[in-house]
Amino acid sequence: GYVKIKVANPNKWKFLAHVTWEEHNGPIPKGHALIFLDGNKKNCSIDNLELITTAELAVINSSGRALTNNAYNNLRQCRKKKC
Residue-wise pLDDT tens digits, 11-38: 999 999 999 999 999 999 999 999 998 8
pLDDT tens string 36-82:
988 899 999 999 999 999 998 888 787 665 566 666 666 667 777 76
DSSP H stretches of helix in the chain: 16-25, 54-63, 69-81
Residues 6+ apart with CB under 8 A from 46: 20, 21, 24
pTM across the whole model: 0.77
Based on its alpha-carbon atoms, the radius of gyration of the chain, rounded to whole angstroms, reads: 14
